[in-house]
A and B are shown apart, each in its own frame.
Chain A
Amino acid sequence: MLRVEARTRLGALTLDVALEVEAGMCLAVAGPSGAGKTSVLRVAAGLLRPEHGLVEAGGETWLDTRRGVDLPPERRRCGYLFQEYALFPNMTAWQNVAYPLSGVPRRERHRRALELLERFGMAELAEARPGTLSGGERQRVALARALARRPGVLLLDEPLAALDARTRAGALRELGSVLREVEVPALLVTHDFAEAAQLGDRVGVIDAGTVVQEGTPSELAATPRSAFVADFTGAVVLTGTARGGADGLTHVELDGGGAVASTDRAEGPVAVSIYPWEIAIEPAGEARHGSTQNRLAAEVLSVTTVGNRVRLGLAAPQPLAAEVTRASAETLGLRAGLHVTASWKAAATRLVGL
């Protein structure tokens, strides 16, 4: 387990966070830039010393400002993936990966480095220097290097931000499988809620140095506790099992009941994402009309006003969120406890394999 607590001033920002991640789990801290995300990772790694703080990992205390404990970064077993990867330009890919293996005989280091590169499909580029590698290749070398010392904690700073859109989808899938394989707590920061929802078992939304809400991605999207979280979370995420249908659409049996259709292709376990503003609300029991494929019965849990829009937290088999204009919310008389039907088009339903 990893526990990070920090209270410290950073220029104009006051960082005040307390986070906990179980082994084998990934907590994604998501928030706008300047919210203090990277500082959380730096406190965990020992690169930033907070005025008040506590860092515990796997039963060891790395930092406890009250007891005067502060291990230097080199004695904390962190696998840290830096935003721009921070590969050493004067070393080849395998030398980068072997770098943390000091004290191991040279031949053994070479063998272990190649093994790690192999795992990321990078064995053929072992002799290449970072300057000659693409963004995706650099990320894989950096991941291999971060894992080389069998870290007790994995820290990932915007792991996909340095990649172009085309590489990102593949890297996202790969990173997801790495995070599922490693048996250590992982702490990831990102400015992108969708990325946080896909990689994190839980997501903490950070704003101005404070984690304003923490929960599973769908909890956050469905029952945002503040307008900021509602706005930031953007998409609704549901999980289920996909299978192709005869009609050319993919049908997804949602976990917990209900089914939706999507124009995306997928098979097996998937995450279904819909933007709340794509979801239309009508009173329960009304006859089906129009072209919407997906209809779920739901109960209104919360009504939050965000500017001229109203965001609804809905209890369907899985939590859901919808956004309607303030005018239609008033017309429909939307309030907590009301039973409604949520509907949206199959074409507005995105599927991502899990």
Chain B
Amino acid sequence: MATTEAAKAAKRQKDKWLLRLYVAGQTPKCIAAFANLKKICAEFLEDQYQIEVIDLLDNPQLARGDQIVAIPTLVRNLPEPVRKIIGDLSNTEKVLVGLDLRGRS
């Protein structure tokens, strides 16, 4: 399977997945996004990931760096290239495609 191969490849590279989730307060969308993200990571990335949640209401200046417009936005900073997924991450398939964990079909 492509998924496992990619995951294995990720493991082989010993690359740490650095994921940033940008939220703005405790809105239902943001909470849902965080929950969905944790679920997906636990399932597909095992221990290879690190999630950083940035609340723009607390740190608005951070929105500039990753060019955040939509909320919630998930940014994959590592491995390169940078990927962005917006929305509440409710569609696991799309999240996997967006994170390059699954080839686009």
Partners in one complex: no
- A: residues with CB less than 8 A from B are none
